[in-house]
Amino acid sequence: MNRLVLQAQILELTAIRYTPAGLPALDLVLKHESQVDEAGAHRKVALEIKAVAIGDVVRRVQALGLAGCSVFTGFLSAQKQGRGTVFHITGLES
């Protein structure tokens, strides 16, 4: 089980590239801000996270455009270089 659901805004968005398998791919940076409950207290949460969309979902992400907002669903993986995490977007909730 590895599932992230994140309401976020597109902060950066590259042009479409193609994977070695010939699939379209988009590289993004997403920005999230919200309030969450933790240990019985409200707290503000903000983060920026690198994201990638591959395949059919690319068209829907591209249609949102820069500064576009959505609820993105997908999974986390490690960055190829470095110790950070990348959010792989596999769907959008409307």
Pick from 2, 42, 65, 94 the residue near a copy of itself by CB under 8 A: 2
Q: For the chain, report the end-to-end CA distance as a whole number of angstroms.
A: 23
DSSP state of 88: E
Q: Does 42 bind a copy of itself (CB under 8 A)?
A: no
Q: Does 12 bind a copy of itself (CB under 8 A)?
A: no
Phi, then psi, of 60 in degrees rounded to 5? -70, -35
d(C-alpha 40, C-alpha 88), whole Å: 30
Chain residues in the site for a copy of itself (CB under 8 A): 1-7, 21, 23, 32, 34, 36-41, 45-49, 54-57, 71, 75-78, 83-85, 88, 90
